[in-house]
């Protein structure tokens, strides 16, 4: 199958897809199911899981779940792209099964002329201040009185 997924029939009325590494899977139960049990137990139309045996996650979807939602979940499950996680949130039992890659933010891009213009417009204008300026007079002294 595409992506190395294997099709299996683990028991009557169940079709299972399992990833090549065995760390993810999906079961689809055929036939009639009890609606109340689908909502309160793991006996659901769709059962998806991931991780090694033991500390694995799972999700279920009932017969009443819209197909486009099941499609979105299964597409995300089969996507090999890395999933961002906080390192402190990863169980120690899962560490041997995962590859951690630090995420480094990209360097800031060079400002555009519009960025420069916006920043220049955002600066406060300098306040008008008064300074002491020496003043010179151009008037002449009154002439000495003539006698």
Domain ranges of the chain: 2-81
pLDDT class of 145 with cuts at 50, 70, 90: low
Sheet with 14-18: list strands edge to edge.
6-8, 14-18, 24-29, 46-50, 57-61
DSSP 8-state code for residue 7: E
Q: For residue 98, what pLDDT is reported?
A: 77
- Alpha-helical runs (H) found in 16-62: 35-40
In 3-state terms, the chain is what percent helix, strand and coil (to 5)?
25, 15, 60
Check residue 143 and give its pLDDT.
Answer: 62
Cβ neighbours of 101 (radius 10 Å): 8
What would the pLDDT profile of 104-126 be if each residue is shown by its tens digit? 888 888 888 888 888 887 666 66
The whole-number pLDDT of residue 72 equals 92
Q: Give the pLDDT of residue 69.
A: 92
| pLDDT confidence band for 133 (50 / 70 / 90) | low
CA-based Rg of the chain, rounded to a whole angstrom? 37
Span 29-85, pLDDT tens digits: 988 888 888 888 888 888 888 887 777 788 889 998 899 999 998 888 778 788 788
Phi, psi dihedrals of residue 47, rounded to the nearest 5°: -130, 115
User: Between 139 and 88, where is the model more confident?
Assistant: 88
Sign of CA dihedral 36, 41, 45, 46: positive
Q: Is the pTM of this model over 0.75?
A: no
């Amino acid at each position: 199958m595409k992506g190395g997924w294997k099709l299996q029939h683990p028991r009557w009325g169940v079709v299972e897809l399992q990833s090549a590494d065995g760390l993810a899977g999906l079961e689809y139960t055929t036939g009639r199911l009890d609606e109340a049990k689908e909502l309160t137990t793991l006996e659901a139309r769709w059962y998806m899981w991931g991780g090694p045996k033991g500390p694995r996650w799972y999700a279920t979807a009932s017969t009443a779940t819209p197909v486009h939602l099941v499609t979105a979940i299964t597409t995300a499950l089969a996507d090999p792209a890395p999933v961002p996680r906080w390192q402190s949130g990863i169980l120690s039992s899962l560490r041997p099964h995962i590859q951690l890659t630090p995420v480094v933010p990209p360097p800031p891009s060079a400002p555009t002329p519009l960025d420069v213009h916006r920043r220049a417009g955002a600066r406060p204008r300098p306040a008008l201040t008064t300074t002491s300026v020496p003043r010179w007079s151009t008037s002449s002294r009154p002439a000495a009185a003539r006698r």
